[in-house]
Amino acid sequence: MLLLTPVEETVLSHTFAHGLMRAGLALAEMTGHEIIVAAPDVRRCSPADVIAMAGGPDKVVVGIYLGIGGSLSGHALLMLPPDGARRLARILLEGVVVPAGDGAPPGDPFVLDPLEISALQEVGNVTISAFLNELGMHLHEPVLPSVPQAVVEMAGAILDAVLVDLSLEANQVLAARAAFIEGYDAIEGTLLVLPRPESLGALLEALGVDGQ
């Protein structure tokens, strides 16, 4: 049940927005490129709305998923368009591996090789952990991300199990979202954090608004 009061929602939005900015900073540091965090937003919405935020149910994206456990529970996803994901992987792998063949065509962006997948998983790990670290600042017990998992799939299919996990007793979910834009290589991504509302108690208390 989503029982957040308006005050709780406001304070939570503020905290989450901070977290989203931190995530953007981490992404910038990792890529060495400037990242713009656009439209950080925290809202209650339907599962269908969340799928729309991700670009639509049949939009093929590279999704990097992390489960959230510990003193908060829920799910987080960093989503990138496949060609953007490939460009991002290239940025990260530059100087670390010699690219195979000079001038060889990039190949199907829907198929990522294991090292690209690993690089992207690490991007998800670092970015989402930065968000969770920010939240964890307020808490005595840590927020614990899972190991990351990257998939190239339709957004609806990736979000299905996540939304269903949050929807058994509720028909709205709480979604914290930001768009990330890396201007130089024209890479855009969306970070989506979907906390389980029942797990927000400790955080709300730490922020001084539990029950207000």
Partner 1 sequence: MNTALRGPVVDLPGRGGGVPEGRPAGRNTEKMAKILVVDDAAFMRLRAVKLLAEAGYTVIEAENGRLAVEAYARERPDAVLLDITMPEMDGLEALTEIRKVDPTARVAMLTAMGQQSIVMDAIKRGARDFVVKPFAPDRVLGAVSKLLA
Partner 2 sequence: MSSTAVVAPRAGVTQLLVAGIGEMVISKDPKTTLVAYGLGSCVALAAWDPDTTVGGLAHFMLPAGPPGGPPVKFVEGGLQAFLEAFARHGGRPGQARLKAAGGAAMLSIMSGGLEIGRRNAEAVAAGLAALGLTLHARDLGGTAGRTVQLEVGTGRLLVKSVSTVTTL
DSSP state of 19: H
Sign of CA dihedral 204, 205, 210, 212: negative
Q: Which is nearer to partner 1, 133 or 172 (CB)?
A: 133
Residues within the interface to partner 2 (CB under 8 A) = 47-48, 51, 55-60, 65-67, 75, 81-83, 110, 146-149, 151-165, 167-169, 171
Q: Which does 96 bind (CB under 5 to 8 A by kind): partner 2, partner 1, none?
A: partner 1
Q: Which is nearer to partner 1, 131 or 176 (CB)?
A: 131
Return d(Cα 167, Cα 195) in angstroms, integer: 12
Return d(Cα 69, Cα 139) in angstroms, integer: 13
Min CB(116)–partner 1 separation in Å:
8
Q: Which does 9 bind (CB under 5 to 8 A by kind): partner 2, partner 1, none?
A: none
Q: Which does 88 bind (CB under 5 to 8 A by kind): partner 1, partner 2, none?
A: none
Q: Which is nearer to partner 2, 15 or 125 (CB)?
A: 125
Return d(Cα 58, Cα 5) in angstroms, integer: 34
- 13 Cβ partners below 8 Å, 6+ apart? 42, 176
